[in-house]
Structure 1
Amino acid sequence: MDSTTDERRSLEQMLDVQRGEVVALLDDIDEEQARARLVPSLTTLLGLVRHATFVERVWFHSRVAGVPREDLGLPVTVDESFVLDDTDTVDSVRAAYLDACARSREIAAEHDLDEQWEWHGRPVSLRFVHLQLIQELARHAGHGDILVEQLRASAILTS
């Protein structure tokens, strides 16, 4: 990452770093591990990446691009975004996330950092959207790192 670039490029690069961290959670993970519930919440590795797809689509596809959430087929609640379907696989969830990220980049490229949209009765800028995604993806990548560590530790203990 170039630390001497302009603000927009810096935001885009930092967001892409976090996107990369999220997608990497599924590297070398099998289907059973990806669905393993190691904490009381709905959080699983596959669920985290599915949730990250939801986040991309809520912020960029819906809020910035203006596509209604219902038209995107998005869950109503955040918790539902972690729920897995029987058809979800490591490959399908990874592909959906990468597609969502690619579309988010296209949408963002069409707008100025200072352009604004309403969020909970107040305006937010594209700059805010980038920062929101950076912090949310970083948090979830950290959650995922802990799950991966737990999975690796249990594999070592059982071998």
Structure 2
Amino acid sequence: MDTDAKATLHRYLRRQREGLLDKLEGLDEYDARRPLTGTGTNLLGLVKHVGSVQVGYLGEVFGRPSPRDLPWYADDAEPDADLWVPADESRASVLDLWQHSAEHADATVDALPLDAVGDVPWWGERRRVTLHQVLVHLLAEVARHAGHADVLREQLDGRAGMVAGDPNVPSRSPQEWAAYRERIEQAAREVARR
């Protein structure tokens, strides 16, 4: 594969990371941490999770382990401890992990060719991978979580789009959004009545 493919994948990964991290902008501690779904999904937890996942996929998988200790991945850790942030864990520490994981991941991508071979022990029989496979997998995972974050942030304060001022989101007044939503609601009700 050519270096343009690697650069493209890396650029898209960075863009998705930026979109996810942007969802924390302007939020107080409560809104950044509080569960907004029945399964506990929360914005700061998504950032913690993605930072942790990056360290694994673009670190240890390619023999480049991070010096960071991630206690939520210890054998005796509580299940899903990487998906939320306890009160005694600071937002700053999560953002520091995020920064470290992005730099560590970027260094791995920069250092290796797309056909570099890695080992994902938690994938079982499919454990032998290339950097290309891992970049595609990680890009999909980060994009999925960034999408979760989009919805969570919209629930909190109505802010929509990948980043603040996203040109892909139509500019509508609150009244226009309400009318648009109502049209969609009415179409759904009409179909339900049939």
Q: Could you say whether these structures have the same fold, taking a TM-score greater than 0.5 normalized by the shorter chain as the test?
A: yes
Paired amino acid for 2:112: H
Paired amino acid for 2:42: T
Deviation at 1:150, TM superposition (A): 0.7
Gaps of at least 5 residues in structure 1 are none
Partner SS for 1:81:
helix
* Structure 1 segment 74-113 matched on structure 2, within 5 A: 75-76=73-74, 79-113=80-114
Which residue in 2 is equivalent to 1:146?
151
Paired amino acid for 1:128: Q
* Structure 1 segment 32-51 matched on structure 2, within 5 A: 32-51=30-49
* Structure 1 segment 13-52 matched on structure 2, within 5 A: 13-52=11-50
Are 1:121 and 2:119 matched, yes or no?
A: no
Identity in percent: 29
Deviation at 1:96, TM superposition (A): 1.6
TM-score, structure 1 as length reference: 0.82
Deviation at 1:78, TM superposition (A): 7.0
User: Contact between 2:63 and 2:118, CA under 8 Å: does it hold in 1?
Assistant: no
User: Contact between 1:26 and 1:94, CA under 8 Å: does it hold in 2?
Assistant: no
Partner SS for 2:37:
coil
Paired amino acid for 1:113: L
User: Contact between 2:56 and 2:65, CA under 8 Å: does it hold in 1?
Assistant: no
TM-score, structure 2 as length reference: 0.69
- Structure number with higher relative contact order (C-alpha < 8 Å, ≥ 6 residues apart): 1
More displaced 10-residue stretch of structure 1: 41-50 or 113-122: 113-122
The whole-number CA distance in structure 2 between the counterparts of 1:147 and 1:7 is 32
Partner SS for 2:57:
helix
More displaced 10-residue stretch of structure 1: 90-99 or 23-32: 90-99
The whole-number CA distance in structure 1 between the counterparts of 2:72 and 2:66 is 9
Gaps of at least 5 residues in structure 2 are 159-173, 175-194
